[in-house]
Amino acid sequence: MLKITRRADHHHGTVTDAVVLPYQLRQKGRFKAESKAGQEVGIFLVRGEVLREGDFLFSECGQIFAVEAEAEPVVTAVATDWLTFSKACYHLGNRHVPMAIGELWLRFQPDHVLEDMVQMFGLTVTHHNAPFNPENGAYHGGGHHHGHSHDEHNHSHGEHAH
C-alpha cells in the first residue's frame, strides 16, 4: 500500500494516478482508498483539511495523485430570480449546510427537510448523481496558514496589543 502524507492545490511534477472520492471521505484525514489505476493507497493528512477536486496528493515514494470528486446522490435546487435564491442560500447557510453554489442554483446532500424548505421558497428540486464540491465557508483557511506567532517579534501592537 502506498502511503500519502501531503496535499497541495498545485504541483510541478507529473500526475501518475488519481483517486475518485465522495465528499464524506474527502473530509477525513486518514482513510484507505483505491486509485483509478487500482493501487491501494493509505491517506494520512492533517485532520480538518477537506480534499477538493483539483487538489494533488503526494506519496512518500514521490507519486502524484489528482483528487477527483465522485458522482454521488445530491439535490440541486434552481431558482428563477436572485431574491428567492438569496433567501434559500441564507436559510441553508444559517443551518451550516455544506452546499455548492452556482448561478441561480445550489446543491446539497439529500435531506427531505431542506428539500421541503427550498421548495417552500419556490426553488425547483432535482435528485441526481453529480460530483459534490461544497463551498469552503467563511472561516476555512484555504489549505495554508498565515497566522503570526507572538514568539517571532516583540514590537507593540498599539491599540491592538494582546
* Tens digits of residue pLDDT in 75-119: 999 999 999 999 999 999 999 999 999 999 999 999 999 999 999
Residue labelled with grid coordinates 444559517: 94
Q: In this structure, are residues 126 and 73 in contact, taking their beta carbons and an 8 Å threshold?
A: no
Domain ranges of the chain: 2-69, 71-131
| C-alpha cell at position 112 | 427531505
Q: Identify the architecture of domain 2-69 in CATH.
A: Sandwich (2.60)
| Residue 146 in this model has a pLDDT that exceeds 50 | no
Tens digit of pLDDT for each residue in 16-30? 999 999 999 999 999
**Once rounded to an integer, what is the mean pLDDT over residues 38-67?**
93
Q: In this structure, are residues 77 and 36 in contact, taking their beta carbons and an 8 Å threshold?
A: no
Classify the phi-psi angles of 151: left when phi > 0, otherwise alpha if psi is within -120 to 50, otherwise beta: alpha
What are the φ/ψ torsions at residue 112 (nearest 5 degrees)? -60, -30
Q: What superfamily would CATH give domain 71-131? A: UreE, C-terminal domain (3.30.70.790)
Averaged pLDDT of the chain:
86
Give the global pTM. 0.76
Classify the phi-psi angles of 54: left when phi > 0, otherwise alpha if psi is within -120 to 50, otherwise beta: left
| Residue 153 in this model has a pLDDT that exceeds 50 | no
**What is the model's pLDDT at position 136?**
80
Nearest to 118 by CA among 136, 99, 131, 134: 99
| Residue 161 in this model has a pLDDT that exceeds 50 | no
